Structure 1
Amino acid sequence: MRKSIKILIFLLLLLISITTIYVEVNKMIYKNRVMEYLVAEKGYNKEEIKEIKGVWGKKLPPFYTTVIFKDEPSIIYSYFAHNDIKQFEYRSLNNEVNLKSSDLKHYEPY
Structure 2
Amino acid sequence: MKKIRIALLVLLVPLLLSPFVYVQANKMIYAKKVNAYLLEEEHHSKDEIKSVKGVWGVKLPPFYVVVVFKDEPDVEYIYFAHNSIMQFEYRLSPEGRARGITRSDLKHYIPRD
- TM category (shorter chain) comes to 0.7 to 0.9
The number of residue pairs the alignment matches comes to 110
- Deviation of 1:12 (Å): 4.0
The alignment's C-alpha RMSD in Å is 1.9
Unaligned residue ranges in structure 2 (runs of 5+): none
Unaligned residue ranges in structure 1 (runs of 5+): none
Letter in 1 for 2:61: P
Match of 1:103 in 2: 105
TM-score of the aligned structures, taking structure 1 as reference length: 0.87
Q: What is the percentage of aligned positions where both structures have the same residue?
A: 52
Letter in 1 for 2:102: K
Alignment of 1:87-102 (within 5 A): 87-94=87-94, 96=97, 99-102=101-104
Letter in 2 for 1:38: L
- Deviation of 1:89 (Å): 1.1
The DSSP-based 3-state class of the residue aligned with 1:77 is strand
Letter in 1 for 2:36: E
Judging changes above 3 Å, is the alpha-carbon distance between structure 1 residues 6 and 47 closer, same or farther for their aligned structure 2 residues? same
Letter in 1 for 2:93: L
Indicate yes or no: 2:47 matched with 1:47.
yes
Deviates more, 1:2-11 or 1:25-34: 2-11
TM-score of the aligned structures, taking structure 2 as reference length: 0.85
Match of 2:85 in 1: 85
Q: Give the Cα separation in 2 of the matches to 1:9 and 1:59.
A: 33
Deviates more, 1:16-25 or 1:60-69: 16-25
The DSSP-based 3-state class of the residue aligned with 2:110 is coil
The DSSP-based 3-state class of the residue aligned with 1:27 is helix
Deviation track 1:41-71 (CA, whole Å, cap 9, x = no partner) reads 0010011100110000111000010000000
Alignment of 1:60-79 (within 5 A): 60-79=60-79
